[in-house]
Structure 1
Amino acid sequence: MKFDLKQLRHFVCVVDTGNITRAAELQYITQPALTRSIKKMEERIGAKLLDRSPRRITPTEAGRVLYRYAKIIINQAERALLDVTAVSRGEQGHVHIGIAALFAPTLISHLIPQLSARFPGLQVRITEGFFEDLVAGLVEGEIDVLLSNFPPGVVPPDVELKPLFEIRTEFVVGASHPLASKENVTAKDLREAQWAIIKQPHIIDFLDKFFAEESLPPVSVAIEATSLNTLKSLVMLGQYVAMLPRRWIEKELEAGEIKTIRKDGTALVREAGLILRQTATRRPTVENVIPVIEESCREWQIDR
């Protein structure tokens, strides 16, 4: 059974768009030619890959399996081409690094100079985001290396976690918030305050468990944000309680603009570090940069 990259791209595009006509336009071929390409794949596999309905085309169970591998193959082929092209130009290849938003600003400023010094011709692409989105890119082969806090639950079976440091997320308020000057902030005080949160599963789970242990109902959220910068700005208004990573607010803590408010040390502490595809054969460029990233992260942890 053999497929070429062109056929795999045809199939992936149909699944992504859910429409043969649109996929044909994006692949610069005619609709009948695209239909024939998919049909040949189905004949070779001996299984139906797509369910066709008047509204949308969706992958069958066999199609979903093929789609997952096709994405990896296509992304790896594109990475290989970038590396070969770079080598032919006397450069040192290409690496795509995913990095969690909560420590991207400070860690990037520490990591990138080291990579540039060690590999002057290396082309680096950085994608910043939250774990759920980044790990999807890693599994699909779009991202080569992921630097992130680790999820509290089950991770995908084909990824490897390499702990390098810890991330501490604490209860915080702006300096003008009434709880900022209170000596002993109770769980009830927190429960009755106005909250702003990042709607991420690990934060919701932690808060639900924290208040449940104090026999209190879940917190009532006034504002949900999708950006840590937005959440920090809301906290500094002095109206809201939030949970923010200490690394994200170090300058504001030093300046007294933000205050931590649980003197008993209550916090969400999570391991963080490298996340890699376990089953992947890594390109030489990626293998070369991993030790440098590990070394840089350990130094960054000590500097904190």
Structure 2
Amino acid sequence: MELQQMRYVVAVAETSNFTRAAEQCLVVQSALSHQIARLERELGAKLFDRTSRRVRLTPAGEAFLPAARQALDAAERARAEVAAVAGEIRGRLAIGAIPTVAAIDLPTTLKHFHLRHRQVRISLRSGASEELIERVRQGTLDIAFLGLPVGVRPKGVRGRELARGDLVAVVAPGHPLVDEDRVDLHQLSDEPFVDFPPGSAARAQSDEAFAAAAVRREVAFEVTTVDFMARLIRQGLGIGLLPAAFVSELPDLPVLQIRDAPARMEHLIWSRFPPSPAAAAFLSALGISSEPSGGQ
């Protein structure tokens, strides 16, 4: 069993197509097919069901794929560790971030890191905090930037708090409350809201604040991205609650300060296990020690 064969299996699984997988791996399709067939003979099981229309993993393929990915990651990590001894940072850096991260300028930070460490392949995944925590636990992300209600600490990872602040109400231009210096949750309770889905950390911080104020509200529009939220608000369909530190990204939308505002904390998390050279270098660039005494 060879690492190259595992790469071919992963490529076919990800593309669901032998031709595209061969192009991705920079080999001719016949060579890729031959190597996968060799691997299937060695394993004594078919990894793919192939028809003229589709390619999909067999049950044996489903079982093999996670182990193949782990083996490839381990080989890449080994090469990166050896290179680091010689002072070269290389390998993969997989980062996750909520859409409203505001504690740092993430695009600028990634640009500076890339210019300094050009041998590192950076990837970024945007998502909800709870999804990103699980991906860091599983090792598919090295580092993640989260937004959580005050007092909530992510489990099974190491990390640190980056910032905390209040949420503000974001409304359409011309909204009746736009001239108010400050409002409270009772004044907002009759408004339709645009918010994130139930069960998400972003939704929880708002729900908990309204519950604490003994105020009921209607969430008429549930969305997963800030861009879509802002588009609905611009049309006057509802109002939203967003971090005060983030709303400068939406300069065309009026912002209302809230007396009894929900609060949230931004966290940076990473794995409980020793970080890769690339992840350690990124944490160091942020002024954070990756040693166990520096996290949870």
TM-score (norm 2): 0.65
Query: Match for 2:67 among 69, 74, 86?
Result: 69
Counterpart of 2:260 in 1: which secondary structure?
coil
> Residues 55-97 of structure 1, C-alpha deviation per residue, up to 9 Å, x if partnerless?
4333344433432233344355456667877987x75446636
**Superposed counterparts of 1:1-304, under 5 Å:** 3-29=1-27, 31=29, 33-52=31-50, 55-75=53-73, 77-78=75-76, 92-93=89-90, 96=93, 98-100=95-97, 101-103=99-101, 106-108=104-106, 121-123=116-118, 125=122, 127=124, 129-131=126-128, 143-149=141-147, 160-168=157-165, 170-174=167-171, 176-180=174-178, 181=180, 185-187=184-186, 189-198=187-196, 201-205=200-204, 214=214, 216=216, 218-221=218-221, 224=223, 226-227=225-226, 231=229, 240-249=238-247, 257-261=254-258, 263-265=259-261, 267-270=262-265, 272-276=267-271, 278=272, 282-293=275-286, 295=288
Percent identity between the two aligned chains: 23
Q: Is the alpha carbon distance of 1:106 and 1:235 closer, same or farther for their aligned partners in structure 2, counting shifts above 3 Å?
A: farther
Contact 1:91–1:121 (CA<8 Å) still a contact in 2?
Answer: no
CA RMSD of aligned residues (A): 4.9
Counterpart of 1:14 in 2: which secondary structure?
helix
In 1, distance between residues paired with 2:84 and 2:245? Answer: 36
Contact 2:48–2:58 (CA<8 Å) still a contact in 1?
Answer: yes
In 2, distance between residues paired with 1:167 and 1:94? Answer: 32
Displacement after TM superposition at 1:241 (Å): 1.4
In 1, distance between residues paired with 2:26 and 2:91? Answer: 28
AA aligned to 1:67 is L
Displacement after TM superposition at 1:220 (Å): 1.0
In 2, distance between residues paired with 1:30 and 1:140? Answer: 33
Residue 301 of structure 1: aligned partner: none
Point out the structure with the larger helix share: 1
> Can you give the 5+ residue segments of structure 1 that lack an aligned partner in the other structure?
297-304
Contact 2:103–2:162 (CA<8 Å) still a contact in 1?
Answer: no
TM-score (norm 1): 0.64
Displacement after TM superposition at 1:248 (Å): 0.8
In 2, distance between residues paired with 1:137 and 1:18? Answer: 23
Q: Is the alpha carbon distance of 1:232 and 1:25 closer, same or farther for their aligned partners in structure 2, counting shifts above 3 Å?
A: closer
AA aligned to 2:194 is A
In 2, distance between residues paired with 1:163 and 1:237? Answer: 38
Contact 1:72–1:141 (CA<8 Å) still a contact in 2?
Answer: no
AA aligned to 1:8 is M
In 1, distance between residues paired with 2:67 and 2:280? Answer: 22
AA aligned to 2:40 is E
